[in-house]
Amino acid sequence: MRKIALPVTAVLTLGFLAACSSSTDSSDTAFEGILVATTVSPITSITSRIGGDKVTIEGIVPEGTNSHTFEPAPAVAKLLSTADIIFVNGLKLEDPTLELAEANMKDGAEIIEIGTLVLPESDYIYDFSFPKEEGKPNPHLWTDTAYAIEYAALIRDVLTERDPEDADYFAANFESFKSQVEKLEAAVRADQATVPAGNLKLLTYHDAYAYFAKNFGWDVIGAVQPKNFSDPTAREVAQLIEQVKAEGVPTIFGSEVFPSPVLQEIGSAAGVRYEDSLRDDDLPGAPGEQDHSWLGLMKYNYATMIKGLGGTSTNIDAVDVTSPVADQASYPQ
């Protein structure tokens, strides 16, 4: 049987996990059925899309928060001590949360490091914000459509092992999600063809699009945010200004989560537009709204990048991100 979870405290096979109870005693928690804890909101969204009303999903990392440096409050330990499944991205993204989970998880619970499981070490990407000498690969797999489908497939498998009676439900939710993601991917490939030749280049504040760029044939020419998440030095800023001028890109991209006067300075000095609205893991709109989803997040980001680089987003704009499954997950704000 394929092993999908690698908790630090023990190596548990799926057969053993399936035999464990999927619910907790009412004296320990008010939740019924499978209780799932998730970290960043894209993972929460994908989990909710697959699990639907068969699971209870509680997010941990507030939207708009730097997930790399997020320190969970002590109260999170209670959630982690009652959860049946804890989905984290892995790849060194949420180490403080992972440590808290390992210290508080109940017997029979499992920690699933989704990114660590779906990404072979040979495919790790190290780059501007994630240099190889630091030992932390770029963890932002979810900004790429292919990896989003792999995340969803793994979540489907884990939930099915816990709740085999609802296997068809989880499978149907996965298939509908996969279909929408594939339509979004096709739309991106069509619209990026409208970008002038040589313009598929990204200079961002945070290094969140490395895997997307590899899949879609874009070139990440730089990231302003250094590995320690501080502002770049004056010398580095000067070098980036010259690079932007040399590359001839029409727009550089900031992040709504990481406001950057430095990027604005670079754009002004290089004579290019600064777009500051990309969202790495802060879903658009409010919880419960249709755009407040992984699909809504990436539809917005892809369209914003393509238009910023001189293309049109006609096909992306036409993609329907409406979910047939109500999102009942809890998203900390």
Chain segment 145-199, per-residue pLDDT in tens: 999 999 999 999 999 999 999 999 999 999 999 999 999 999 999 999 999 999 9
Asked whether the beta carbons of 201 and 243 are under 8 A apart, the reply is: no
Tokens matching residue 33 = 């059925």
Q: Which residues contact 168 (CB under 8 A, 6 or more apart)?
A: none
CATH top-level class for 14-181?
A: alpha beta
Identify the CATH number of the domain defined by range 194-317: 3.40.50.1980
Indicate if 194-317 has the same CATH topology as 14-181: yes
Q: For the chain, how many helices (H) and strands (E)?
A: 12, 8
**Amino acid identity of 75?**
A
Question: In 3D, which of 266, 221, 274 has the Cα closest to residue 241?
Answer: 266
Q: What is the distance between the alpha carbons of residues 221 and 297, in angstroms, rounded to a whole number?
A: 23
β strands within 106-190, DSSP E: 110-113
Q: How far is CA 112 from CA 36, 88, 90, in A?
A: 11, 6, 8
Domain boundaries, the chain: 14-181, 194-317
Q: Vertex 147, ends 143 and 148: CA angle to 5°? A: 70
Q: What is the distance between the alpha carbons of residues 102 and 81, in angstroms, rounded to a whole number?
A: 9
Asked whether the beta carbons of 21 and 262 are under 8 A apart, the reply is: no
Question: In 3D, which of 115, 190, 192 has the Cα closest to residue 146?
Answer: 115
Going residue by residue through the chain, which has 333 residues, state the pLDDT in tens, using 9 for 90 and above: 222 333 333 333 333 333 333 333 333 445 568 999 999 999 999 999 999 999 999 999 999 887 888 889 888 999 999 999 999 999 999 999 999 999 999 999 999 999 999 999 999 999 888 889 988 999 999 999 999 999 999 999 999 999 999 999 999 999 999 999 999 999 999 999 999 999 999 998 888 999 999 999 999 988 876 666 667 788 888 988 998 999 899 999 988 777 778 888 999 999 999 999 998 889 999 999 999 999 999 999 999 999 999 999 999 999 999 999 999 999 998
Asked whether the beta carbons of 24 and 297 are under 8 A apart, the reply is: no
Q: What is the distance between the alpha carbons of residues 231 and 118, in angstroms, rounded to a whole number?
A: 32
